Amino acid sequence: MRTKVILALGAIGLPLLLRNLYVIMFLVPDDLEQGPVYRIFYYHLPAFLVAMCGYITAMAASVLYLVKRDQKYDTIAVAATETALAFAAVNLITGMIWGRISWGIWWAWDARLTWALISWLVYFGYLMLRNAIDDPTERAKNTAVYSIFASASVAVTWKAIEWWRTQHPGPVLSIRTGGVQRIDPAMENMLYINTLALLLLGAIFLLVRLRQEEVQREIDGLRRYAHALN
Partner 1 sequence: MDERNITFMFYGLAVAWGLLALYAVLLGLRERNLTKQLDTLKRMIEEKK
Partner 2 sequence: MTALRHAAAIAAKDLRSEFRTKESINSTLSFSVVILLLFSFAFDPSPDMIAEFGGGLLWIVFAFAGALIVNRSFARELPNDCIDVLVSSPASGASLFLGKAVACFVLLFGIECICLPVFGVFYNVTWWRSLWELLGVLALGTWAMACVGTFFSALTVNLRLRELMLPMLMYPILIPALLSVMMLTNTLLTGQAMPSDFGVWLRLLIGFNIMFTTLSVYLAETILVR
Strand partners, 31: 35
Rounded to a whole number of angstroms, the minimum distance from the CB of residue 86 to partner 1 is 4
Between the alpha carbon of residue 223 and those of residues 134, 135, 228, the distances in Å are: 15, 14, 9
Q: Using CA atoms, how far apart are residues 205 and 96, in angstroms rounded to an integer?
A: 24
Tell me the three state secondary structure of residue 70: coil
Binding residue (CB under 8 A) for partner 2 from 6, 60, 89, 133: 133
159 in contact with partner 2 (CB under 8 A): yes
- Spatial CB neighbours of 9, under 8 Å, sequence gap ≥ 6: 200, 203, 204, 207
Rounded to the nearest whole angstrom, what is the least distance from the CB of residue 230 to partner 1 in the complex?
8
Cα-trace Rg, the chain: 20
Residue 138 binding partner per list partner 1, partner 2, none, with a CB distance cut-off of 5 to 8 Å that depends on partner kind: partner 2
Helices (H), the chain: 2-22, 41-68, 71-102, 111-132, 136-164, 185-229
111/198 with CB nearer partner 1:
198
- From partner 1, partner 2, none, which one binds at residue 73 (CB under 5 to 8 Å depending on kind)? none
SS3 for 40? helix
121 binds partner 2 (CB under 8 A): yes
The Cα–Cα gap between 127 and 121 comes to 10
**Is 107 an interacting residue with respect to partner 2 (CB under 8 A)?**
no
Site for partner 2 contains 149 (CB under 8 A)? yes
Give contact residues for partner 1 (rule: CB under 8 A): 21, 24-25, 34-37, 39-40, 43-44, 47, 86-87, 89-90, 93-94, 97-98, 100-101, 201, 205, 208-209, 212, 215-216, 218-219, 222-223, 225-226, 229-230
Q: Please give the residues from 64 up to 93 whose contact with partner 2 meets the rule CB under 8 A.
A: 66
Using alpha carbons only, what angle is made at residue 159 by residues 155 and 165, rounded to the nearest 5 degrees? 135
Among 8, 18, 25, 152, binds partner 2 (CB under 8 A): 152
Nearer to partner 2 by Cβ, of 121 and 222: the residue is: 121
Angle at 187 between CA 26 and CA 195, to 5 degrees: 95
Number of residues that bind partner 2 (CB under 8 A): 26
Contact footprint for partner 2 (CB under 8 A): 66, 118, 121-122, 125, 128-129, 132-133, 138, 141-142, 145-146, 148-150, 152-153, 156-157, 159-161, 163-164
